[in-house]
Structure 1
Amino acid sequence: MPDAGRTAEHEPALAGSGDIVFADTITVLPDDAPGAVVICGSHSGRYPGYLAARSGVRAVILCDAGIGRDEAGIGALPYLDGLGIAAAAVASTSCRIGDTADMVARGRISAANAVAQRHGVEINMPTMAAAELLRAAPLRSVMPPALGEARSLARDGGGRRIWLVDSAALVEPGDAGHIVVTGSHGGLVGGRPEKALKVDAYAAVFNDAGVGVDQAGIARLEVLDRRGIAAFTVSAASARIGEARSSFEDGEISVVNRIAERLGARPLTPARDILLAWADTPDRP
């Protein structure tokens, strides 16, 4: 396992029992998250694990995002295990990704790291039952080394830019009119349509997070269609969630919205091929 920073053997466990707090995305945690058990609608990839550790949580429960390629959808669990922090994931087939209220209402645990298991967390346990157990988990004082998300250009010059951003939170105003390939899931954060994408890009790509219950993992596509933005998801089985470069280089298209279909995107084809073609396509009428 890669070095995740100071491990449980090198840091004391702090006393006390944590509260339970809620967040639809790990990129915006409430002020009372430090020392608490956080139930969060984000995928449980490695970077969300880093953000949880950096925020000083006692424990975190995220969504497994269909687990997917190289088990990237639960990469936070071994990462946090190395830091002595309890972590678990709920099945995307049991509740809507990005929707913490639904995680609480319907979510069932699909995976847990060793720290969480030692505190009684088991597969198929309801979300809140697991969270209650994790209130007694150790609070570790850790300073994980920086694990920065990537934002880079896959293509520049001669047409539209193709931006690779590991999280949709990294989209910038200047991305309007260009192509944005994200490592984020294709669900709506908190079920809020206005959170689908920060800018009016020419096109946007997301990971389908295994699609999941109520087709939550692809919910952004229809919203972006109404905004005039071509969008599709790549399958979680083909690309590592949380890694935009994997979406671009490895991703196989799984679901397309109407605009993307009119522009030639089709399921079961390589994402890279259609994105490079779109980069040189004249503005659509």
Structure 2
Amino acid sequence: MEIPEGVVLLDSLGDLQPENTCPVLVCGSHCGGNKALAQQVKNCHVQVVFLNSAGIGKNQAGIKGLSYYEAEGVLACAVDHNSAEIGISRDTWESGIISHMNSLAKAAGIQIGDSVKETISKIMHTVKNPSLSKTHKNSECTTGNDIKDNDSKADLKKQTQTQVDGISITITDSITFLNQNNSGDIVVCGSHGGMSAGHYAQKHGVKAVFFNDAGIGKNKAGVKSLESLSQAGILACTADCMSAEIFNGMDVLENGILTVCNQLAKSRNIKESMTVKEAIKLLK
């Protein structure tokens, strides 16, 4: 089945740009978030969004974004993290099964257990598609993927600098909030450890990174980037989604318990079941 007109697939919300004209977003990112993130998605002309439940996790952080999207008038659904690989939008589109939704989705007749494809076919006639306006010369949606970091997202891209046992740490809620100044940093973030997140870690050349495991999920997608990061010379670990909230870098630092460590981490005697802070202390 071809992707319907007006639908865009993105592996990461970090790839979404204000120039987007697709009203329906099928995204590999988690369904966590906050008011600012939901506002950003709305400001990028998204009316409907499908995201990953990320194991739901501590304080239901993996689906916390549903209410924020609803407040912005965005119909939002989360797919079961065991039905589709987190960080892989194509799998969300092809295999995603709805596990949670906001009241806008319920009002549209969407039900738990529906597939993403079924859901989109059910609601597509109700969605206004700006890509069909006369200002656009073709029928394909614009996502702005060729545009570099956009200043309109600067208010979201918050980082905190701290130290653990004298070791400097960069804390951020999302790996997508990093920039060229983070090269060589030890990063603790609230992102999942999937392939799209690993891409950002490599892009910015971090020294080490601690992720949330997002429930690990289908085909171990929540930790899938760790091996490739080790090959790229980046030490990487994931924290149990039940020990720390996804999209909450500070909680990962303060409360995260390690579930998976790559070979570089193991070579520094970092092991599963350690706290994130215990692991960082071994990076001296």
Q: How many residues align?
A: 255
Measure how far apart 1:175 and its partner are. Answer: 2.4
Q: Which residue of 1 aligns with 2:216?
A: 211
TM-score with structure 2 setting the length: 0.81
Partner SS for 1:135: helix
Pairwise CA distance, 1:268: 1.5
Question: Could you tell me which amino acid in structure 2 is paired with residue 135 of structure 1?
Answer: M
Summarize the alignment of residues 217-256 of structure 1 with structure 2, pairs less than 5 Å apart.
217-256=222-261
Over 3 Å counting, the alpha-carbon distance change for 1:197 and 1:116 in structure 2 is: same
User: Alignment partner of 1:46: what SS?
Assistant: coil
In structure 2, relative to structure 1, the CA distance for the partners of 1:56 and 1:203 (3 Å cut) is same
Matches within 5 A, 1:158-237: 160-189=167-196, 194-237=199-242
Which residue in the other structure is 1:258 paired with? 263
Q: Provide structure 2 residue ranges, at least 5 long, that are not aligned to the other structure.
A: 129-153
Q: Pick one of 24, 40, 54 that aligns with 2:11.
A: 24
1:207 to 1:49, Cα distance in 2 relative to 1, 3 A: same
1:155 CA displacement: 1.6
Query: How far 1:34 sits from its partner (Å)?
Result: 4.0
Distance 2:240 2:115 in 1: 27
CA drift at 1:265? 1.5
Residue 65 (1) aligns with residue 70 (2): no
Distance in structure 2 (CA, Å) of the matches to 1:262 and 1:163:
22
| Aligned counterpart in structure 2 of residue 155 of structure 1, from 151, 158, 163 | 163
Supply the distance in 2 between the matched residues of 1:210 and 1:76 (Cα, whole angstroms): 17
Q: In the alignment, which residue of structure 1 is the partner of 2:78?
A: 89
Q: Give 1:242 shift.
A: 0.8
**Deviations, residues 194-224 of structure 1 (Å, cap 9, x unaligned):** 5453233221111111000000100111011
Q: Deviation digits for residues 144-167 of structure 1, max 9, x if unmatched? A: xx97343111228x9542000211
| Greater mean deviation of Cα atoms: 109-118 or 200-209 | 200-209
Percent of paired sites with the same residue: 30
Q: Select which of 79, 86, 99 maps to 2:88.
A: 99
TM-score (norm 1): 0.81
- Give the aligned residue type for 1:58: Q
Alpha-carbon displacement from aligned partner over 1:30-56 (angstroms, at most 9, x marks no partner): 677446111111111124534322212
CA distance in 2, matches of 1:199, 1:41: 20
